[in-house]
Amino acid sequence: MNSIMPLLSQSARLPLRFSCRIRHFHIQQKKLAVELTRIRYPNLKRGPYANVCDADISNFEKLLPGHGRVITDVNELDGFNTDWLKTCRGSSQVVLRPKTTEEVSALLCYCNDRRLAVVPQGGNTGLVGGSVPVFDEVIISTQLMNNIISLDEVSGILVCQAGCILANLDSYLKDHKFTMPLDLGAKGSCHIGGNLATNAGGVRLLRYGSLHGTILGLEVVQASGVVVDCLSSLRKDNTGYDLKQLFIGSEGTLGIITKAAILCPQKPNAVNVAFLGCDSFNRVLDVFQKSKHMLGEILSAFEFMDAASMDVIQKNLKMHNPIADFPFYILIETSGSNGNHDEEKLNKFLETMLSTQLVNDGTVATDMSKIEAVWSVRERMAEGLMHDGYCYKYDVSLPLLKFYSLVEDMRRHLGSRVTRVVGYGHVGDGNLHLNITTPAYSHEIMDLIEPYIYDWVARHHGSISAEHGLGFKKKQFIYHSKTKSAVKLMQAIKKLMDPNGILNPYKTIPDAS
Amino acid sequence: MNSIMPLLSQSARLPLRFSCRIRHFHIQQKKLAVELTRIRYPNLKRGPYANVCDADISNFEKLLPGHGRVITDVNELDGFNTDWLKTCRGSSQVVLRPKTTEEVSALLCYCNDRRLAVVPQGGNTGLVGGSVPVFDEVIISTQLMNNIISLDEVSGILVCQAGCILANLDSYLKDHKFTMPLDLGAKGSCHIGGNLATNAGGVRLLRYGSLHGTILGLEVVQASGVVVDCLSSLRKDNTGYDLKQLFIGSEGTLGIITKAAILCPQKPNAVNVAFLGCDSFNRVLDVFQKSKHMLGEILSAFEFMDAASMDVIQKNLKMHNPIADFPFYILIETSGSNGNHDEEKLNKFLETMLSTQLVNDGTVATDMSKIEAVWSVRERMAEGLMHDGYCYKYDVSLPLLKFYSLVEDMRRHLGSRVTRVVGYGHVGDGNLHLNITTPAYSHEIMDLIEPYIYDWVARHHGSISAEHGLGFKKKQFIYHSKTKSAVKLMQAIKKLMDPNGILNPYKTIPDAS
């Protein structure tokens, strides 16, 4: 029977959204260390960089006086060397924790002179191996750069250091009736600097647009140590080239972001979430089209997940499905300035969806704890998948009509060799998260997936990385999404801005040759 | 007496919005030619470029076969050599009108080999002398590159050539229930390529954000003739550096934009415009704050003009003030998916504004012709000012609290030497248009205004060009808004991408020295 009803009690018992993420992170830290990247990828060659020596360590200690700012303890280093997914592990011998832009500048100046390779690290929540060393790069962490500098309460412009945690910024803003223009599952530990360096997308992009539009200014330290101050906190500034754009999404290969000015939208007065069940992916697309027309300016998220994804949530995380079983699920969020108007729009929309049988069942959440509970079904997916063992993670953009065919093709292609193939993601942005799990990493499975998936995406004019970036794991596939002339220009810009190639080597773009 | 009433009949008689703009353009063309830029600015030195010779013209004719594609007729050239404001005039001897990217590539390859300087030109509606030659640069016009290539009706992604006129794109989209994310007074003649090259702002930026967020892809021809294809029509694509961002706002100095992919929002079902009168600028700011809270997601424009601006509209354009006389006027636009909801929000807001006496009088327009009539009061301002003779045009970003003090200071500073000093602009974006008029251009007046205005803006941490760009007229003042290290990096990027400096020389950034 079709029914749209208040959220059932079982979903109210689901844990809240970002606290889980942090807890999980610590659980993972206790597991055994993963294979070193240089061993897993034996064809990799270390670049022509100097090795860190004792004199370097003493110099770092002079540049960063005080306790816990230069970390060399092997046990402490392990968390910084290993990525969140447990798929990459470097062997850096030192982590540096500056507090100020001037300290970042002094460190880079020193490393550049010494030809020491560097990997900038924020919350280390990246999914493509971009935030950990490949060999023994020096890690510069933004952990201690976590000051909020200012908030203009008229314009909503927030200025902060790069190491602020996304969730902390959002909760600070809430007290001042604003909200962050981006939100993602890792919000409890990711740093805003890392979000910017990787041009993070997330669930609010549909509503507030990309960081290229919402970031008003950046302060960045170049490889040479020179500080580029583009920290304008003005909504409009057309004086010369918009340099900050170059750093957004360059994954720490062109400079280290130290401060940002962010245009923050008003905190919505009313938020509603609907969780719906659908019979086919075509119906998911129809519901998306209708939601754009009927919910218009209040639509703030449109996410989908397939039945295999729900299985992960139920079996691996012991969470409940808030509705009956369906082949596809949709999560719709609205947010607006007038609760009554929003509710009226949403009710009318849901009635239409049910009466036209585009949607078969659903539940609506209006109070914050229930909204967070429904969201956690979607946001804890990455975590749930890791319980299977190893997760081969793909994050592609595709034209909507081809969106789910890739999951079906991949399932056929891999058959029973893998634990599961699941598809979920941001329908509103054409962004599919395709995940494949096996009990442990396997070269043979990897060879079956890549370049098969990249060829598939390129054939359908998609992007091989919608929001995760290329990092270490996908850099060699850039030509599947970018032309030779474009990559050549990227290489020339890299050479210009980091002539010694010390910044995050082995990542993002192939070396010029 | 306070009254919010339907638009009075006199405003319904106001001419419609963009037809006027085109008509006026032709009237201006008939006036006498303005002083040559190289004579008005005698200290300028021509760069080390070749001179166009007869052999070049025949080669251009080979590259662009057919009638009217290589223009050398002196009478025809005048319109291309002179800017819309009649403040700059170059002496180019040839205009080239390619139709395809391949032709642009062949032309640039030729010009680069021959060291011929080039100025790219769209609708030639720029306000800082950026779209006309300074000396005898070859003009490459996008007039014949006006094809719409595709529109994805699910996602609203439009792909078109650079020479499409903004208003034409908007009216094409309207038929498909979408709208352009930008709108500005010059829409009847400006080209989308020029909008992108100058990172045009306009009246919808408040709602839909900047072009850095709404442009998904660009195709660009570099100085060497190499085509850089970043024409992704995906909402998300994090594969390598986001090169297209470099070209947005680089004013044709890094490459010529040939195609664009634009994310177009849904056409709103309901649009309302309110035109309000206020006693003081502080009240304008209070009304802005309240409108953000009470109108939230449906607020699509918040513009202001002062009494001196209204005087221009009434005296120079013989248009009527839709309400009584006030020191300040506000134009608020809402657009949304549900007319009843929007009207209810707007009425409640207006009632609050009147009852708290933040607003003294006002009128509301809901049908399209009246909405366009009210908008024309704001949009024909640039045209009205030109009736005074010469217009010194400034377009600055300032913190809102300092926003109007600049107009008052400038009025005191210039006294009776000038015809008028008017202030209007986009309060929602912190963007003030300050305009000063005199019967004819005067070096003495110019010296009184500059660098006084730039020092003032820099002192208050503003931007000396919010949306118009730097072009020819403001390039030397870049250091008032950007640091030396930032400008140095811009110069290095310019040198990398256009080593012979043939693209739009004498503009945007100072030469490296």
The number of folded domains in chain B is: 4
A128 and A183 inside one domain? no
- In three-state form (DSSP H/G/I as H, E/B as E, the rest C), the secondary structure along B203-238 is CCHHHHCCHHHHEEEEEEECCCCCEEEECCCCCCCC
* Residues of chain A neighbouring B234 (CB-CB closer than 8 A): 397, 430, 462-463, 466
Task: Please indicate, yes or no, if residue B71 is contained in any of the structural domains.
Answer: yes
Distance in Å, alpha carbon of B1 to nearest chain A alpha carbon: 30
CATH number reported for the structural domain that contains residue A176 in this entry: 3.30.465.10
B9 and B60 inside one domain? no
Smallest CA–CA distance from A237 into chain B, residue: B466
Per-residue pLDDT band for A32 (boundaries 50, 70, 90) equals low
Res B233: pLDDT: 83
B443-473 per-position pLDDT tens digit: 999 999 999 999 999 999 999 999 999 999 9
Res B243: pLDDT: 97
A108 and A58 inside one domain? yes
**Rounded to 5°, angle at Cα A484 from A481 and A485:** 115
User: Cβ contact (<8 Å) for B470 and A245?
Assistant: no
Domain boundary among B230, B263, B296: B263
Examine the pLDDT at B15 and tell me if it is beyond 70.
no
Per-residue pLDDT band for A130 (boundaries 50, 70, 90) equals very high
User: Cβ contact (<8 Å) for A238 and B266?
Assistant: no
B84-107 per-position pLDDT tens digit: 999 999 999 999 999 999 999 999
B310-363 per-position pLDDT tens digit: 999 999 999 999 999 999 999 999 999 999 999 999 999 999 999 999 999 999
Facing residue for A486 by CB, picked from B228, B474, B497: B228
Facing residue for A236 by CB, picked from B293, B400, B466: B466
Distance in Å, alpha carbon of A454 to nearest chain B alpha carbon: 12
CATH number reported for the structural domain that contains residue B401 in this entry: 3.30.70.2740
Examine the pLDDT at B3 and tell me if it is beyond 50.
no
Examine the pLDDT at B39 and tell me if it is beyond 90.
yes
* Residues of chain A neighbouring B226 (CB-CB closer than 8 A): 485
> Quick one: average pLDDT of A431-444?
96
Res B8: pLDDT: 33
Res B23: pLDDT: 34
Res A75: pLDDT: 94
B73 and B155 inside one domain? no
- In three-state form (DSSP H/G/I as H, E/B as E, the rest C), the secondary structure along B321-388 is CCCCCCCEEEEEEEEECCHHHHHHHHHHHHHHHHHCCCCCEEEEECCHHHHHHHHHHHHCHHHHHHCC
- SS3 of residue A50 by DSSP: coil
Taking all residues of chain A, what is their mean pLDDT, rounded to a whole number?
Answer: 92
Task: Please indicate, yes or no, if residue A511 is contained in any of the structural domains.
Answer: no
A396 and A452 inside one domain? yes
Q: Which of B128, B239, B248 to mutate to probe the A interface, most A CBs <10 Å?
A: B239
Examine the pLDDT at A410 and tell me if it is beyond 90.
yes
A421 and A459 inside one domain? yes
> Quick one: average pLDDT of B246-251?
98
B46-83 per-position pLDDT tens digit: 999 999 999 999 999 999 999 999 999 999 999 999 99
B127 and B182 inside one domain? no
Task: Please indicate, yes or no, if residue B510 is contained in any of the structural domains.
Answer: no
Give me the interface pTM, i.e. the ipTM: 0.92
**Rounded to 5°, angle at Cα A249 from A508 and B511:** 100
How far apart, in whole angstroms, are the C-alpha atoms of residue A203 and residue A377?
A: 13
Res B449: pLDDT: 98
Smallest CA–CA distance from A478 into chain B, residue: B239
A165 and A257 inside one domain? yes
Per-residue pLDDT band for A31 (boundaries 50, 70, 90) equals low
First to last CA, chain A: 63
B53 and B130 inside one domain? yes
Per-residue pLDDT band for A270 (boundaries 50, 70, 90) equals very high
Task: Please indicate, yes or no, if residue A477 is contained in any of the structural domains.
Answer: no
Longest CA–CA separation in chain B, Å: 73
How far apart, in whole angstroms, are the C-alpha atoms of residue B402 and residue B457?
A: 9
Task: Please indicate, yes or no, if residue B287 is contained in any of the structural domains.
Answer: yes
Q: Which of B280, B299, B279 is nearest to B289 (CA)?
A: B299
Res B164: pLDDT: 98
Per-residue pLDDT band for B31 (boundaries 50, 70, 90) equals low
Res B32: pLDDT: 60
Res A400: pLDDT: 86
Examine the pLDDT at B108 and tell me if it is beyond 70.
yes
Task: Please indicate, yes or no, if residue A478 is contained in any of the structural domains.
Answer: no
Domain limits for position A334: 4-26+268-381
Taking all residues of chain B, what is their mean pLDDT, rounded to a whole number?
Answer: 92
User: Cβ contact (<8 Å) for A497 and B481?
Assistant: no
B202-225 per-position pLDDT tens digit: 889 999 999 999 999 999 999 999
Domain boundary among B106, B141, B176: B141
Examine the pLDDT at B9 and tell me if it is beyond 70.
no
Q: Find the radius of gyration of the CA atoms of chain A.
A: 23
- Quick one: B389 exposed, middle or buried, by C-beta within 10 A (0-12, 13-18, 19+)? middle
Examine the pLDDT at B12 and tell me if it is beyond 70.
no
Domain boundary among A350, A381, A412: A381
Per-residue pLDDT band for B232 (boundaries 50, 70, 90) equals confident
Task: Please indicate, yes or no, if residue A479 is contained in any of the structural domains.
Answer: no
Q: Which of A339, A455, A221, A324 is nearest to A1 (CA)?
A: A324
A277 and A226 inside one domain? no
Res B29: pLDDT: 40
Task: Please indicate, yes or no, if residue B486 is contained in any of the structural domains.
Answer: no
CB B17 within 8 A of CB B372: yes
> Quick one: average pLDDT of A493-497?
98
> Quick one: average pLDDT of B242-250?
98
Residue B1 has which token pair? 């007496």
CATH number reported for the structural domain that contains residue B98 in this entry: 3.30.43.10
How far apart, in whole angstroms, are the C-alpha atoms of residue B268 and residue B265?
A: 8
CATH number reported for the structural domain that contains residue B300 in this entry: 3.30.70.2190
Facing residue for A241 by CB, picked from B222, B246, B400: B246
A413-427 per-position pLDDT tens digit: 999 999 999 999 999
User: Cβ contact (<8 Å) for A466 and B236?
Assistant: yes
B417 and B346 inside one domain? no
Facing residue for B481 by CB, picked from A209, A237, A462: A237
A121 and A67 inside one domain? yes
Count of C-beta atoms within a 10 Å radius of residue A440: 8
For chain A, give the percent of residues with pLDDT over 70: 94
* Residues of chain B neighbouring A426 (CB-CB closer than 8 A): 236
B147-190 per-position pLDDT tens digit: 999 999 888 999 999 999 999 999 999 999 999 999 999 999 99
- SS3 of residue A368 by DSSP: helix
How far apart, in whole angstroms, are the C-alpha atoms of residue A315 and residue B392?
A: 70
- Quick one: A176 exposed, middle or buried, by C-beta within 10 A (0-12, 13-18, 19+)? middle
